[in-house]
Amino acid sequence: MPRVRLALFALACAALAPARADDFEAFSTRGLPRSAGIDVRVSRPAHWKKVPLEDDMALAEFRGAEGRLTGILQIGRGRQRRDMESLCRPERARTMLQNLSAQVRDARVVEAFARPREGRPAFEISYERNEPPDFLRVRSVIVCLKDSQLLVSCGASGAVKSALAEIEPVCRRVLESLSVSEQ
């Protein structure tokens, strides 16, 4: 009987453990609607499944259990614009989310800074939201393309705020794997 309990305990611990590096698989937006002219590649936890899109700016969205949380990966593309140069200035990082707290109740910006990605202007943003009964933490990379912006967000929601720290290693791996090519 102790062996059965030990085996059940080991299975429960494995279910709560964050995704390991070998549990990731590559995803490409090639051929998806709205991805014409770009190919976004990113690694994601293999058990996160593609879900129907609710946002018309999204190219793809994945969700999956991640310990006590629901992990979320969303890839989106902004509308084509001619003023990309002004939208992508590094100093814009300080002001791009200044109204988030006013627009979204209980939102708090944790970080916002400019850092090039693959030679392109880019921003990295992190924010948290308390939306009882759940809490949300999101880390995003916004990459400036020739005529639009690409948004790749990784985060999690859950009922236990302290559990949100568990998504950090997963999202770090996802966002570090990001590569973008334009045709």
How do residues 7-32 score in pLDDT, each as one tens digit? 333 333 334 444 444 599 999 999 99
pLDDT tens, 71-97?
999 999 988 888 888 888 887 776 666
pLDDT at 107 over 80: no
Which comes out higher in pLDDT, residue 170 or 6?
A: 170
CA distance 27 to 46: 10
Q: Structural domain boundaries of the chain?
A: 19-182
Res. 48 pLDDT band, cuts 50 70 90:
very high
Structure tokens at 102: 């006013």
Sheet hosting strand 38-45, strand order edge to edge: 24-28, 38-45, 179-182
Which comes out higher in pLDDT, residue 93 or 51?
A: 51
The confidence score (pLDDT) of residue 45 equals 97
- Hey, what amino acid is at 139? R
> What does pLDDT average to over the chain?
83
The confidence score (pLDDT) of residue 7 equals 38
pLDDT tens, 136-176?
999 999 999 988 999 999 999 999 888 889 999 999 999 99
How many CB atoms within 10 Å of residue 22? 7
Three-state secondary structure of 68-121: CEEEEEEEEECCCCCCHHHHCCHHHHHCCCCCHHHHCCCEEEEEEEECCECCEC
Structure tokens at 179: 């590569």
The confidence score (pLDDT) of residue 11 equals 36
pLDDT at 180 over 90: yes
The confidence score (pLDDT) of residue 101 equals 55
The answer to which of 9-13, 31-35, 37-41, 95-99 has the lowest mean pLDDT is: 9-13
Architecture of domain 19-182 in CATH?
3-Layer(aba) Sandwich (3.40)
